A and B are shown apart, each in its own frame.
Chain A
Amino acid sequence: MSQLAVADQEVAMAVKPAAPARPSVVSLSGITKSFGPTLANAGIDLSVRAGDVIGLVGGNGAGKSTLMRILCGAMWPTLGAISFAGEEVAFAAYDTGEAQRRGIRMVHQELSLCANLSVAENFFLETPGDSASQPGWRALYRTRARAALDAVFPGNGIDADTEVGHLTIAERQMVEIARAAATPGVKLIVLDEPTSSLDLDRSKQLRAFIRERTKAGLAFIFISHKLQEIIDIATEVVVLRNGRTAWQGHAADASIGKLVQLMGGDANPVHQHAVATASSQDVLVRLSGPLTAALGRDIDIVRGEIVGLAGLEGSGQKELLHAIFSPDRKRHAGVSRRAEAGFIAGDRQKEGVFPLWSVLSNISIGALARRSALGLVSDRANRDTATGAAGKLRLDDKRFQSNITELSGGNQQKALVARALVADTPVILLDDPTRGVDIATKQDFYRLCNEVARGGRALVWHTTEDAELLACDRVLVFSGGRIVKELAGEAITEQAIVGASFAQSADGQASAAGKRTALAGFGRKLVNAAPFIGLATVLAIMVAINPAVASTFGLDLLLMPALSLVLVTAAQMFIVGGSEIDLGVGAFAGLVSVLSATLLYDQPSLGALALVAALAAYAGLGGVIQARKIPAIVVTLGASFIWVGIGYALQPTPGGASPDWLTALFGWSIGFMPTSIIMIVAVALIVLAVDRLPLGVVLRGFGNNPAAMIRSGWSPTRYALVRYLIAGLFAGAAGLSLTAINTASDINSGNSYTLLSVAAVVMGGCSLLGGIISPVGAVAGAVTLSLIGALLGTLSVSSDYNAATQGLILIALLTLRSLTADRRSEL
């Protein structure tokens, strides 16, 4: 690791003894946290004083993240206390918001930014309140973002107006670090693997910045698996192991070797196994093409060997595993597999376990997946197969009937390995399988890997623990998405692996990503223009056939009915922006229409009250959906029955009358310009304005990355209420417009708008995944859809084809979009 170690004198500077009487910032004592039978933290004490840089190290699953989550208020400990500057705070009153008020900021690994917002807007999310309501708030945060980025990373060249989603991982990490560092009143910054994606220069800049700020009394907790950085920057080092403090002391007393030993990492695992000779007929996987271009030859993976994949996080190891698992001719032409492959995921909760099932079912699915779907399942047969596999793993078969989630991480992992064993595939792919697994299980695991390989299978093993690679026969080192080095036998050393990982980390990655965004961007632009092209086409055809359409009166006649749909679409767009769909929005507009034509007409004050109550109920629905985490689609579908039911009870048959002021509100005219166009444009502008306000930014943030928003201290329930309130206001306006335009009401008048609004929103280019709102496009989509009927009339096609035309347009657009968008394989 010598090429990475920083100059000795720098180390010496960092550990220069500081003044003894520095004030305490925060102190945790006796922190214990249990998850069922496992203790993630056991009696940990941690005290941070102003100007400290605490290096926190420990293997995966050592309890670092749990401890930090407790420190930042994201989780409460089972036992323990926290105090700020000597003042004890009860955990019951301690949450992420409180932690932030007390000056604690945490930099997570790139997860805490909203990718759909600009850099400046992300800065706003972290520190709102500072004159955010004034016009020009964006400029303020733009300046602040620029200054903060330049302070930490001089010469970074990041534009504060760029969408975060368009930045590289390293740039995102830089934004995240700068954002935390720039927070006013911050006292302690927790940096979780801050340099995992940064190159050496940026990493040095960061460390220089930390040194600078500690002089002013700012404290840091620095978590990193790059131990040389810890020794370089930390004043004090805390080593965690199995949830306990294994060592705590001055950085001057620590060395890499000592830390590795303390973390429980077996510094030199024995190289136990070596494949005899690669015979060509036993080749199971072949890698070629650009992937192996740097080596100048193909790589064959043969029966009986363990091949390790190494390199910095995210250099392409995982992608290769997935490419081998499901070879895709187009994307990975260079990867070919000649035998069936099984997969063992290390990210158990996301990619591994089936949480509703017993351990036995979780194991036997491996064999079932490869049988005919019409076959029958027998518990006895399942048990027989699973017992053999479990025995090899020392997994107790008495636990077969327990739910998988009741098992510890290590035992869950054993079950996943057993699943791969019962599948009995010649190739087994392992994706960091020992993550968060205890030492004993790891030992079982290494032994088993050898046994399995010796039994004539090929193992491809991606690991984030470099030491584990020493157990492999061959190691492929990745950098920038390519294999840059192949190590075999005695040549496999941690030093060689790390050296090769860093060798060419700069190239490749950025250009490939750039090309992809450019191409996808063009396709997306084309699809986004579709509603406008569609609208123009529809109008052009109608004018061509009947020139009277182009007159002020003609346009008004055509477009006035579109206004209600435009308003409902605006409502739906805010809901979709939060990655939900409201199937009751049209019915709600119908209800408001009924209320305004009956109660509001007869008894204005009572009517107004009823409208407010309806709006409150609608907003409350949003709160319920968020608070209970229930699917909005079904809830709003249920609510639609309530809206229709109320309307029906109030007014069984269409009728009522529009209040004069309401008719006047929608019935004015300024002569040369069609009223309807003015109002539709006004609606689009209002939506656009709301979207540009800080409120709109927060709502979009929630649509994209709710977890990050909660971490930044925003209340999800409050903003769900606000989101539905805004939607309710637009839907309510739609209801009023229905009454005014029809001069009467009908509870069913809004029903067709629900589905049309979803179609319009999707046509307009909003993402159903949430977070992307395009008001102008959606309005254009709504107008286009509402003109379809008139267009068919002009073309003398029966109005029966109205719905089908709308449906086909929707299908065509979605098809286009799914073909242009870069869709990650979800299935």
Chain B
Amino acid sequence: MSAFASFGAWAQRNRWIWAAIGVLILWLVLSVVTNRFSLSSLSGVMLSASFLTVVGVGQMFVVTTGRGNIDLSVASVITLSAFVALLTVKGQDANLAIGVIAAVVLGLAVGALNSLLIVGLGIPAIIATLATGYVLATATLLSNKAIPGFAVSPALKDLATGRISGVPIMAVIAIIGVAATSFVLRYTVFGQLLSAVGQNRTAARLAGIRNGPVIASAFVISSVLASLDGLLLGAYIGGAFLEMGQPYLLQSIAAVVLGGTLIFGGSATALGTLFASILLILIVTTMQIIGLPPGVQDIVQGIVVIFVLALAGRQALARRASVDLADGDKDATAKTEAGAATVLPK
């Protein structure tokens, strides 16, 4: 019994474990039910999941800044980046460096624009990234007309689709990225500041943290990762098409939430995002194996997101309640409001 309880306490702090357990169970079930499911087919799932993980980790940074912040522009960034890659690399390995630089610059530019709107002008993140997405959609349409053809640089193609002794290179990249992100979150000052800002923005400001740069860097990281993801995804599918980034919007948010990152901000787990990405791709794969029509696949994905949120919502509620009750005396809030309503004379 006590082992069970201590596992509960441990799982409370390491929320990624639930997604990992989910992956394990679903994989075992699939292996038993369909004899053809094996480690090698898992590596195929890993490959698809890697693309989701990269954009998911970026989304995770944004979600962790709190206030329900979400980056709605990732889908457009992925699509545009894939087109930009076609335009810059032109299928030549020699142009690869330019392509990578272009992708990074694109990510930086979109991230900077989002940050300007959100941090500089105080526009809610969802509206700001929505507006940016509109602008990028037009850029995508224009570049769609300009692309010379669907040629992919061989080196990039190797990177996106190749394997080292059976393990997809992309999976290795994703895992290294997740490890690096975990380190940043846990052992750098930036990781601590991000968590503080996400938990309680006012307290963070009063503790001396400059919230603006912290929030801005989260949006920049998200855009840059989405942009690099678009570059690789384009190489993986061998080109680019309009709306190719679209599925990654919901899935990236789903991966973040499913992985155990708190949707209210302040606590992130990169490992959870990785496992949740694998789980989501496994679910889609399962549905394909069963032969469900695409419409039903959409329905199941939607239900999974709502269901997980509804479950996680209770945890967050419990946490909120404990904070509320920590101070028995509500006089505090009332007085702050009264105080905030007056202004110093000009």
Contacts and interface: CB of A to CB of B under 8 A. Distances in A.
Interface stretch (A118-126, A506-514, A726-734): A506-514
B36 interface: no
Contacts of A192: 334
A354 B199 contact: yes
Nearest to B336: A347
A151 interface: no
B263 A631 contact: yes
B341 A373 contact: no
Interface in A578-594: 581
Contact of B340 (A318, A352, A649): A318
B138 interface: yes
Contacts of B320: 629
Given A355-B200, A638-B254, A60 B310 contact: no
A65 B333 CA distance: 12
Contacts of A801: 138
Interface stretch (A103-111, A448-456, A559-567): A103-111
- Of the listed residues A169, A350, A508, the one surrounded by the most CB atoms of chain B closer than 10 A to its CB is A350
A641 B298 contact: yes
B250 to A, nearest CB: 5
A346 B327 CA distance: 11
Contacts of B344: 291, 316, 319-320, 323, 331-332, 481
Contacts of B298: 641-642, 644-645, 648
B326 A635 contact: no
Contacts of A419: 207
Contact of A810 (B127, B296, B346): B127
Given A345-B203, A366-B208, A633-B70, A762 B299 contact: no
A464 interface: yes
A509 B313 contact: no
A827 B200 CA distance: 10
B77 to A, nearest CB: 14
Given A412-B326, A649-B299, A814-B127, A356 B319 contact: yes
Contacts, number: 369
- A69, A348, A368, A819 — which one has the most chain B CB atoms within 10 A of its CB? A368
Interface centre among B141, B204, B257, B295 (most CB of A within 10 A): B295
Interface in B132-149: 132-135, 137-139, 141-142, 145
B339 A314 contact: yes
A21 interface: no
Nearest to B319: A355
B266 interface: yes
B17 interface: no
Most buried by A among B126, B249, B319, B330: B330
A550 B310 CA distance: 52
Interface string B278-311: 0000000000000001111111111111100110
Interface in A775-827: 800-808, 810-811, 814-815, 818-819, 823-824, 826-827
Given A369-B207, A373-B188, A405-B323, A349 B201 contact: no
Given A635-B309, A814-B131, A827-B122, 16 more contacts: A38-B328, A40-B329, A60-B331, A313-B335, A323-B344, A352-B203, A357-B196, A376-B188, A425-B208, A436-B329, A631-B264, A637-B253, A649-B293, A758-B127, A802-B138, A815-B123
A629 B315 CA distance: 10
A193 B249 CA distance: 50
A355 B199 contact: yes
Given A332-B344, A638-B306, A826 B338 contact: no
Contact of B346 (A40, A65, A331): A331
A758 B130 contact: yes
Interface in B82-101: none
A637 B206 CA distance: 34
B153 interface: no
B215 interface: yes
Contact of A317 (B200, B329, B339): B339
A365 B193 CA distance: 8
Interface string A402-419: 000101010010000001
A258 interface: no
A630 B206 contact: no
Question: Could you say which interface size class chain A belongs to?
Answer: 35 or more
Contacts of B253: 634, 637
A458 B167 CA distance: 61
A641 B203 contact: no
Contacts of B208: 340, 342-343, 366, 369-370, 423, 425
Nearest to A648: B295
A810 B306 contact: no
Nearest to B76: A803
A348 B332 CA distance: 9
Interface in A355-408: 355-357, 361, 365-366, 368-377, 405, 407
A355 B323 contact: yes
A374 B188 contact: yes
The 3 A-B pairs at the shortest CB distance, nearest first, are namely: A807-B134, A645-B298, A649-B295
A478 B263 CA distance: 42
B221 to A, nearest CB: 12
A671 interface: no
A827 B205 contact: yes
B72 to A, nearest CB: 8
Interface in B212-245: 212-215, 217
A650 B132 CA distance: 33
A628 interface: yes
Contacts of B191: 377
B211 interface: yes
B322 interface: yes
A409 B134 contact: no
A194 to B, nearest CB: 12
Interface string A26-70: 000000010110101000000000000000000011011110010
B33 interface: no
A795 B212 CA distance: 41
B328 A762 contact: no
A298 B121 CA distance: 34
A624 interface: yes
A32 to B, nearest CB: 12
Contact of B133 (A66, A464, A634, A807): A807
A647 interface: yes
Contact of A481 (B131, B134, B190, B345): B345
Contacts of B24: none
B3 interface: no
Nearest to A756: B134
A704 interface: no
Nearest to A319: B344
Interface string B63-83: 000001010000000000000
Contacts of A64: 329, 331
14 contacts: A109-B334, A193-B334, A291-B345, A353-B326, A357-B195, A365-B192, A365-B207, A369-B208, A436-B332, A635-B306, A641-B298, A646-B295, A803-B137, A827-B119
Give the one of B130, B201, B302, B343 with max A CB within 10 A: B302
A409 B70 CA distance: 33
Interface string A431-475: 010011000000000000000000000000000100000000000
B333 to A, nearest CB: 7
Interface string A183-206: 000000000110011000000000
Given A354-B196, A356-B195, A40 B328 contact: yes
Contacts of A340: 208
A625 to B, nearest CB: 9
Contacts of A637: 249-250, 253, 305
Contacts of B135: 803-804, 807-808, 811
Given A319-B344, A405-B326, A804 B137 contact: yes
B295 A827 contact: no
B253 to A, nearest CB: 6
A720 to B, nearest CB: 14
